[in-house]
Structure 1
Amino acid sequence: MDAYAWILLLLGFTSGTLNSSVGLGWGVLNIPVLMLLPTLTARQAVALSIVTGVFANGAATFENARHGLVQWNYALMMGLGGIGGGVLGAYFLRNIPALTLKRVIGALVIVLGARMLLGK
């Protein structure tokens, strides 16, 4: 395996652990790191994070359901809303200027990180 493969494997493991244990981390961690790779655009980093999240979230869903932690009535309503939001978000991803996308991602990382660190 080349260096990028090892980086991606470690990133997936770390993000999967955070995502499954505290409910966040997949996109918040993956997208900024993926954007540092010279082979990916910001759009590709977002799309890759979404696609690979299916695997981590699928595994976490199985484990959480197996242990009775999933409120299926809530999951259904959120999932239905997520379908519409996913289609709209994919449209925005295709149409937002690349520099604007980078700035939005950067601002979100800073604001969300600060809120978490400050305990708000």
Structure 2
Amino acid sequence: MDTILILIATLLVTGVAAGFMAGLLGVGGAFLLVPVQFRLLHTLLGLDATLALRVAFATSLAVVLPTALSGAIAHHRHGVIHWAAAIRMGAAGIPGGVAGALIATHAGSSLLGPLFAALLVIAAARMLVPLSAGRPLTRICGTPLLLAIGGCTGILSGMFGIGGGIVLVPALILLCGCPTHRAVGTSTAFILLTSIGGLAVFLSSSPPAGVLPFFAAGYIDLLQWLVLAVTTIPMAQAGAWAAHRTDAGILRKIFAAMLVLGALDILSVA
């Protein structure tokens, strides 16, 4: 009983933080969700490291979808989502998500853990690079570049259970000259599309029978999903509200700091 209470309490706090940061930064929140879930599954519940990481990726992606929907609704109200760009990127992001999830269901934690941490650190470093003033997205990024960005982000999304915002937001800012707030808003719309492909793979793939401690759908831990979803969804609305009242430079610094913390944590237990 004590173990379950610790699990639920930790997930509730994590869900509040991840949901708020998802809305604030235009990400799915996986940079917080994955390290915490992995630690709980592997250290607290004793699951094998590879299985724990796969379950963390899958459950995180299942939480990301409704959380992104909540954040996208709020950002749409502020008129900062570039829907045409999001749809073009999503056209490549969905099959990319399928490919990434297939890789994740066959790779071990010794590969996935360091790769995930490296992804977080690279994204953090790029976000701290001084940026020129943002320019209208459609004048900088043509369809080929948007498809390339979407496909690459989709693969990473499926592999690591992320919505893709930790890659997409820096890409839109650095490659397309997109204003930070518009990049954040467009990212939430893209996440809605790209997470579908990876989620389908994790749902259709199953770990060995009886190895997960709670009810599961494929690799998705339903108890963790429920506890996280009820907190991340409303907090994404609060985060999106705060995003439009926060300086863009501050947003980038917060984003980079959270990415580095997530990388350090996943390396400490992977």
TM tier, smaller: 0.7 to 0.9
Measured in 2, the distance between the counterparts of 1:63 and 1:31 equals 24
How far apart, in 1, do the equivalents of 2:27 and 2:72 lie?
14
1:79-101 Cα shifts (integer Å, max 9, x gaps): 21210111011111111123211
The match for 2:60 is: 49
Cα distance in 1 for partners of 2:82, 2:120 equals: 29
One-letter amino acid matched to 2:98: V
Name the structure 1 match of 2:24: 21
Based on CA coordinates, which of the two structures has the bigger radius of gyration?
2
TM-score if structure 2 supplies the norm length?
A: 0.40
**Alignment partner of 1:82 out of 90, 93, 97:** 93
Instruction: Return the alpha-carbon distance in structure 1 between the equivalents of residues 29 and 116 of structure 2.
Output: 14
TM-score, length basis structure 1: 0.84
Structure 1's 97 and 6: CA in aligned 2 closer, same or farther, altered over 3 A?
Answer: same
Could you report, residue by residue, the CA deviation over 1:11-32 in whole angstroms, capped at 9, with x for unpaired residues?
A: 1111111111122361112212
- Measured after TM superposition, the shift of residue 48 of structure 1 is 0.9
The 4+ residue runs of structure 1 with deviation greater than 6 A are none
How many angstroms does 1:6 deviate by? 1.7
Query: Which among 52, 61, 73 is matched to residue 62 of structure 1?
Result: 73
- Does the alignment pair 1:71 with 2:82? yes
- RMSD over aligned Cα atoms: 2.1
Per the alignment, residue 5 of structure 2 pairs with: 2
Alignment of 1:26-41 (within 5 A): 26-37=29-40, 38=42, 39=45, 41=52
Where 2:89 maps in the other structure, the secondary structure is: helix
For residue 10 of structure 1, what is the amino acid of its counterpart?
Answer: V
- TM superposition shift of 1:33: 1.8
Q: C-alpha separation between the residues in 2 aligned to 1:116 and 1:80?
A: 25
How far apart are the structure 2 equivalents of 1:25 and 1:65? 16
Identity across matched positions, percent: 27
Q: Counterparts of 2:28 and 2:101 in 1: how far apart (Å)?
A: 20
CA distance in structure 1 between the partners assigned to 2:83 and 2:113 by the alignment:
35
* Alignment-derived partner of residue 109 in structure 1: 120
Structure 1: give runs of 5+ residues left out of the alignment: none
Q: Which moved more, 1:103-112 or 1:27-36?
A: 103-112
Q: Which has the bigger relative contact order, CA under 8 A and spacing at least 6?
A: 2
